[in-house]
Amino acid sequence: MSRSYTSTLMRLLVGFAVLLCISLSVQTSVQAASDKIHYTPDQIRDLGFEIAHELRCPMSVNQNLFDSGAPIASELKGQIFLMLEQGESKAAIIDFLVQRYGEKIRYQPSFSSATAVLWLGPILLLIGIVGFAAVFIREQRKPANTKANTYE
């Protein structure tokens, strides 16, 4: 093979590799853009209200975002609706707000090592009480020792 033929072949291979990389990157960006969800206006309204009912207002005590009149609640509701219009999922919106405000923004915190006591505590307490009651009742039902104790 001649030297010019080899260099031409190398140029073609490099060109093919560059085109392959470009086409893969374009496909990835198109796929990432298509991962967004396209909601109808009614779906945006319903899902936005649903999310606002599930999250706690950071300023108002024992009120969700939907019921709170605090300025931060209005701002967060606007953020929720904006993210829904941009095609974000409910889980992505809640994750964003949890990262920003902490787990306390959820009315029902997710199960993790930090919240295990909250989830398992009542169950373990109930099991302990039932176990204690069973032992207590069993002890009460045992026949009393009928032999008289005599001290000689």
pLDDT in tens, 49-88: 999 999 999 998 889 999 999 999 999 999 999 999 999 9
Proportion of the chain above pLDDT 90, given as a percent: 44
CATH number of 41-105: 1.10.8.640
Rounded distance between C-alpha atoms, residue 83 and residue 48, angstroms: 9
Give first-to-last CA distance, the chain, whole Å.
Answer: 121
* Structural domain boundaries in the chain: 1-35, 41-105, 112-141
Residue the block writes with tokens 């999310």: 51
Q: What is the pTM of this model?
A: 0.55
Residue the block writes with tokens 């599930």: 54
Q: What 3-state DSSP class applies to 110?
A: coil
